[in-house]
Amino acid sequence: MSFLYVYERSAKIGVQENCVVVESKKENLKRILPIEGVENVIIFGDASLSSNCVKQFMERDINLTWLSSRGKFYGRLESTRNVNIYRQRKQFACGEDDEFCLALAKRIILAKVKNQITILRRYRRNRPEKSVQKIIDAMAKLLPIMERVHNKDELMGHEGMAARYYYQGLAELVEPDFAFSGRNRQPPRDPFNSLLSFAYTLLMYDLYTAAVNRGLNPYASFLHSIRRGHPALCSDLMEEWRAILADSLALYVTSKGIIKRENFEKPNEEGGVYLDGIGSKAFIAEYEKKVRGRSNYLAYVDYSVSFRRAMEMQCQRLAKAIEEGDPSIYQPVVIR
């Protein structure tokens, strides 16, 4: 099964003879894919769909996500086939249980920081003239402190400190052409932050789909604060994957010259910096290669799975922890 990304200008999407057809007269392009192999469709920009296409997607349980050309979320179209109200009622109850939330949040945040440390260790080999050991040591000292916290506010305070250290480390390791001074967003104000934001958007809606397919409510979280219109559970689930799939991808495409400075549009009126069409296509292609890559990082199985499959299995693992009211069942991914 595959994700179909539609980024062609004024594209029209339809279903003909058991195939999904994407056409764009502006770009003189036509893509045809067997519908049986499509699991999700993600639209960037102003594509349109036929009513028959919408019906076919609903009947076949193909989710559709609309984003702006710069990754702003507009909404989703999905069937109700996977809605599990009984599981969601338990999810809401666990979300009101401070003990459950803290225990789960600790596991997720500790895994996140450990993964960040591993990424810094891996990529410092590419920049031997730079030293991030002091940053790694400072982050490592925070791990036992986070294990002993008594509430989420304390945990997130230490996580914020670890994040500041981490982005200082990333700033040392990125290629000189992509130098940045730290994380910024909404809008991203430099090319490397733009890549991070784009990767986080792609990851967010991968996890959104995985959560919905497992009968979870993507807006009911345990770690992040809930707010109107924000899929906070997906923000929870993203934490262990950010460094593994998004940060490492941004480092990879810039170090290998896959994405270059000229692939970015000039800052807009708000000061935001974004990939152009060519850069977006190249970055999405590399993201797909990344999430389809296989690993043995899941602690509870003895075989390799793709990262996308691992995200699905982690959502199922979370569902089991919710069903049994036991946060220790959830085992976040920790890379080596």
Pairing relationship of beta strands 63-67 and 38-44 according to DSSP bridges: parallel
Give the C-alpha separation, 41 to 203, whole Å: 14
Give the C-alpha separation, 121 to 276, whole Å: 31
- Residue 225 DSSP code: P
Residue 306's DSSP bridge partners are: 294
Region for residue 242 given its phi and psi (left: phi exceeds 0; alpha: psi -120 to 50; beta: otherwise):
alpha
DSSP 252-320: HHHHTTSS-GGGBPPP-TT----B-HHHHHHHHHHHHHHHHSEE---TT-SS-EEHHHHHHHHHHHHHH
Pairing relationship of beta strands 29-34 and 19-24 according to DSSP bridges: antiparallel
User: Exposed, middle or buried by CB within 10 Å (0-12, 13-18, 19+), for 127?
Assistant: middle
158 is in an annotated binding site: no
270 is in an annotated binding site: no
Q: Which of 230, 166, 170 is nearest to 204 (CA)?
A: 230
Which ranges of the chain would DSSP assign to H, the alpha helix?
51-59, 85-95, 98-123, 133-147, 152-173, 191-213, 232-238, 248-255, 277-292, 307-324
Q: 4 — phi, psi (to 5°)? A: -105, 120
The annotated binding site for Mn(2+) is made up of: 159, 224, 239
The annotated binding site is made up of: 159, 224, 239
